[in-house]
């Protein structure tokens, strides 16, 4: 299990947090979704 309680940026700023969300940046397959109808 990974616990995160803060984020430190390259410029040295630090942000305390209770939760951190990470987006993967995966592109959806639009044609697959359209063909589901």
Residue 21 belongs to what domain range?
A: 6-35
In a domain, residue 12? The reply is yes
Q: Residue 2 above 80 pLDDT?
A: no
pLDDT digits (tens, 9 = 90+) for 4-33: 899 999 999 999 998 888 878 888 888 888
In a domain, residue 1? The reply is no
Specify whether the CB–CB gap between 6 and 14 falls below 8 A. Answer: yes
Q: Residue 1 above 80 pLDDT?
A: no
In a domain, residue 15? The reply is yes
Q: Which two tokens stand for residue 7?
A: 């984020």
The whole-model pTM stands at 0.44
Q: How many domains does the chain have?
A: 1
In a domain, residue 22? The reply is yes
Instruction: Write down the pLDDT at residue 13.
Output: 97
Q: How many CA atoms lie within 13 A of 10 on its CB side?
A: 0
Instruction: Write down the pLDDT at residue 29.
Output: 82
In a domain, residue 10? The reply is yes
Instruction: Write down the pLDDT at residue 8.
Output: 93
Query: Can you tell me the distance from the alpha carbon of 23 to that of 10, in angstroms, rounded to the nearest whole number?
Result: 19
Instruction: Write down the pLDDT at residue 21.
Output: 82
């Amino acid at each position: 299990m990974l616990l995160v309680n803060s984020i430190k940026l390259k410029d040295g700023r630090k942000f305390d947090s209770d939760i951190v969300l990470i987006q993967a940046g995966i592109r959806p397959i639009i044609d697959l979704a359209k063909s589901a109808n």
